[in-house]
Amino acid sequence: MIDVKELRVGNVLYVKYESKTHIVHSIHEYKTFNGGYAIRMENGFKCSLDYAEPVPLTEELLLKCGFNIECYEYCIKEQRLFAIKDFWILHNCHNDFYGVMCSNKVVRKIEHLHQLQNIYYALTGEELEVRL
């Protein structure tokens, strides 16, 4: 289950019983739902945290978010560097590790799209455009 503290309006989540992704429109305390919170999606329906799953990061998803593959010293067989403006993500293909880069160092591991959306917003002040 996703920790409600990790969510914000605009995050993209996968809803299990619909087998599709949705954008979080609002988050409400809702005592009758498992976990005590309800997530209202962009189409108006709501679900508990039990039915929402994080969307795993993939290279295809990074490209759909506007990232480009950059070939510097990190672009080797097992590692790729993705960039959008001055925001960098390193992907180690060998162990499927994704990390936010700053000054040639990985400063934060990320595994899911909502984490990427949150850290991108925190560091740039802009929303990450997600085209699914």
Indicate whether 71 pLDDT > 80. Answer: no
pLDDT of residue 86: 86
Give the amino acid at 98: Y
pLDDT of residue 1: 79
Interval 112-126 mean pLDDT = 95
Q: What is the Cα–Cα distance from 85 to 67, expressed in whole angstroms?
A: 8
Domain ranges of the chain: 4-53, 59-124
pTM score, two decimals? 0.90
Please state, rounded to an integer, the average pLDDT across all residues of the chain: 90
Taking only the tens place, the pLDDT of each residue in 5-44 is 999 999 999 999 889 999 999 999 988 887 789 999 998 8
Contact 9, 121 (CB under 8 A): no
CATH number for the region 4-53 comes to: 2.30.30
Handedness of CA 120, 122, 124, 128 (dihedral sign): positive
Contact 127, 117 (CB under 8 A): yes
pLDDT of residue 76: 65
Taking only the tens place, the pLDDT of each residue in 41-62 is 998 888 888 899 999 999 999 9
Interval 65-69 mean pLDDT = 93
